[in-house]
Amino acid sequence: MDMRDSSESFGFFRAEPAAEDTPHQQHAQLTGCPWHDVNEMLQSVGLRPTRQRMALGWLLFGKGARHLTAEMLYEEATQAKVPVSLATVYNTLNQLTDAGLLRQVSVDGTKTYFDTNVTQHHHFYLENNHELVDIPVTHVSMQNLPAVPAGYEISRVDMVVRLRKIS
């Protein structure tokens, strides 16, 4: 099941970039020539556009906002005849996350997704399908957060609401 099908069935749509998002957050979805866009995206965050990064970037960002595990991207790369190892996929995903082009979402201790939508939003996790669905930040109200200890600030709040289909 395609993530867009899932999100539409919940009545949610992809969040538009907020005005305060950084430029690389705003262009994480390709709009022109995919190779040119991926090249610019990588260079804008100081990453060298190697062949493997370019190919994985095209697979990641060429289909719009979505959620993938390293194994899912590796499978797509294998089907697209991109010669990469699973270790290279993990390394590239972590580099793109560190650079701010991806957002890492941990569902439980064993499953990590990489989200191409790096704007502020939350997620439903569909347990039966093992899928993430975006919840726009405007659909969630965060109140009564605990006091932040001195010397710290909240960098991000990640909420994953786990859903199970009623049988």
Task: For the chain, give every domain's residue range.
Answer: 3-12+23-163
Confidence band for 30, pLDDT divided at 50, 70 and 90: low
User: Tell me: the pLDDT tens digits for 49-58?
Assistant: 999 999 999 9
The domain defined by 3-12+23-163 folds into: Arc Repressor Mutant, subunit A (1.10.10)
- The residues near 100 (Cβ < 8 Å, ≥ 6 apart) are 22, 24, 25, 45, 118
Rg for the chain, CA atoms, rounded: 17
Distance CA 137, CA 127 (A): 21
User: Tell me: the pLDDT tens digits for 113-160?
Assistant: 999 999 888 898 999 988 999 888 787 877 888 899 999 998 888 888
- pLDDT at position 33: 67
| pTM of the predicted protein model | 0.75
